[in-house]
């Protein structure tokens, strides 16, 4: 069985591999391949709709010569009562060539100044963290643990954060009779 991931980011590919291992009845001998999917270079989704659309776009664009494709996207969503009004969430879209299965990760809040830079369009999350002097890294999503690893001091990694959105999307495939 061939599964494409709409990204060459090793963190996302690892999250798919880790999640798929939990479902041997759904995925026999999976071959998981990262595929370039065109996305806005310095964009950062600013709503749940944009985040889900980004995941769906990645899944659809990477569906080539495979059984399933997985699109993974992180972005902001409005969160009433939070300090900044927004939280970061991950979306997974699994595509079989006809239908999508969607899942979301847990959500967390960025530092207020990071959120401001993202919402203004001045930076994506990695750029904002660097501009604010919180990191030296250019692309925190590719760093071990990711930004969530930095914020939780290693208690939760980006791989695990992403894996939760995949598991939520796999509910549909594991329980087809309910959906």
The span from the CA of 124 to the CA of 149, in Å, is: 17
Out of 3.30.540.10, 3.40.50.10190, 3.90.950.10, 3.40.50.970, which CATH number does the structure's domain 2-106+157-178 have? Answer: 3.90.950.10
Q: What percent of the chain has pLDDT over 90?
A: 81
Residue 99: helix, strand or coil by DSSP?
A: coil
List pLDDT tens digits, range 19-59. Answer: 999 999 999 999 999 999 877 655 789 999 999 999 999 99
**pLDDT tens digits, one per residue of 159-175:** 999 999 999 999 999 99
Measured between alpha carbons, how far is 121 from 40 in angstroms, rounded to an integer? 12
Q: What is the mean pLDDT of the chain?
A: 93
Contact between 2 and 31 (Cβ < 8 Å): yes
Task: Place 110 in a pLDDT band, splitting at 50, 70 and 90.
Answer: very high
Give pLDDT, residue 125. Answer: 87
What is the predicted pLDDT for the residue at 144? 73
Indicate the SS3 state at residue 28: coil
Residue linked to tokens 């409005």: 78
| pLDDT surpassing 60 at residue 155 | yes
Instruction: Determine the average pLDDT of the residues in 146-161.
Output: 92
Write the burial class of residue 133 (CB in 10 Å: 0-12 exposed, 13-18 middle, 19+ buried).
exposed
Q: Locate the domains of the chain by residue range.
A: 2-106+157-178
Structure confidence at residue 150 (pLDDT): 87
């Amino acid at each position: 069985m061939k599964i494409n991931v709409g990204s060459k980011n090793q963190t996302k590919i690892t999250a798919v591999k880790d999640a798929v291992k939990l479902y041997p009845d759904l995925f026999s001998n999976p071959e998981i391949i990262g595929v370039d999917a065109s996305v806005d270079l310095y964009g950062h989704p600013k709503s749940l709709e944009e985040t889900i659309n980004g995941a769906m776009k990645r899944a659809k664009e990477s569906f080539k010569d495979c059984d399933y494709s997985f699109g993974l996207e992180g972005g902001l969503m409005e969160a009433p009562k939070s300090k900044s009004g927004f939280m970061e969430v991950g979306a997974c879209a699994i595509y079989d060539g006809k239908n999508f299965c969607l899942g979301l990760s847990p959500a967390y809040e960025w530092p207020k100044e990071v959120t401001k830079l993202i919402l203004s369009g001045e930076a994506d999350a990695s750029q904002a963290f660097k501009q604010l002097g919180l990191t030296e890294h250019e692309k925190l999503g590719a760093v071990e643990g990711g930004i969530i690893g930095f914020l939780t001091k290693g208690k939760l990694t980006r791989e695990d954060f992403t894996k939760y959105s995949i598991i939520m999307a796999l509910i549909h495939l594991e329980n087809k009779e309910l959906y």
